[in-house]
Amino acid sequence: NVASSWLYNSAYAENASNSRRASPRTGNQAMHGLFNYSAQETTAVFEANRVYTFSIWAQNDEILNDTNGLFMYIFDGTVPFSDANSLASGLFTAINARQPGMTAAQSQANWTQVSVSHTVGPGAPEIGRPIGVGFFARRDTSVDDATLTSVVPEPTTVVLAGLGGVTILAWRKRR
């Protein structure tokens, strides 16, 4: 696997001669799948007790076996990027497909947002290390507007997750 800067296709802007090419969701560029991994280390670092979410807007150009879909990753930026080294990953194939003859406005309304998340607990080894994000867009998938966000989980969510764990333990002891 090769890590690189984001791979943009500068000729990607809306092109009337290719009716299957998705119109960029915002601005005038998006990336079309190149069968390459695209990964980068951000300037942000992992902090304890936070949930990190990497999101991308995607759209398939056509539905062909094994040519559409998007793999997404969050990884420790100090470790060489690979599928095996990711802290969170996901494969997304249920992405809206651009239909031939769609207008630019229809294409822009057709984008699907997909996300992967990673929760950093107290004492996690990645704390203080740079956050890495990456993706692999298959040949017939287009991506645009990638974002990385982080939030502190609400105390209610943490309490409910803890209660769920206690309930499972009590249930297992009874069996």
pLDDT at position 146, please?
87
The Cα-based distances of 115 to 9, 55, 88 in angstroms read 22, 4, 10
39: enclosing H helix or E strand: strand 37-45
pLDDT at position 87, please?
97
pLDDT at position 99, please?
79
Chunked in runs of 10, what are the mean pLDDT values of the chain (175 residues)?
45 48 65 75 94 92 71 94 92 85 82 95 96 87 87 69 52 52
Q: What is the pTM of this model?
A: 0.76
Nearest to 102 by CA among 57, 63, 61, 56: 61
pLDDT at position 101, please?
78
* Identity of residue 123: G
Given a contact cutoff of 8 angstroms between Cβ atoms, the answer to whether 143 and 58 are in contact is yes
Taking the C-alpha atoms of residue 30 and residue 21, their distance in angstroms, rounded to an integer, is 10
Q: In this structure, what token pair is assigned to residue 68?
A: 């559409």
112: enclosing H helix or E strand: strand 112-120
The Cα-based distances of 109 to 58, 97, 145 in angstroms read 11, 11, 14
Alpha helices in the chain (DSSP H): 104-109, 155-174
Between CA 43 and CA 51, with CA 48 as vertex, the angle to 5 degrees is: 75
pLDDT at position 76, please?
96
Given a contact cutoff of 8 angstroms between Cβ atoms, the answer to whether 37 and 134 are in contact is yes
pLDDT at position 100, please?
75
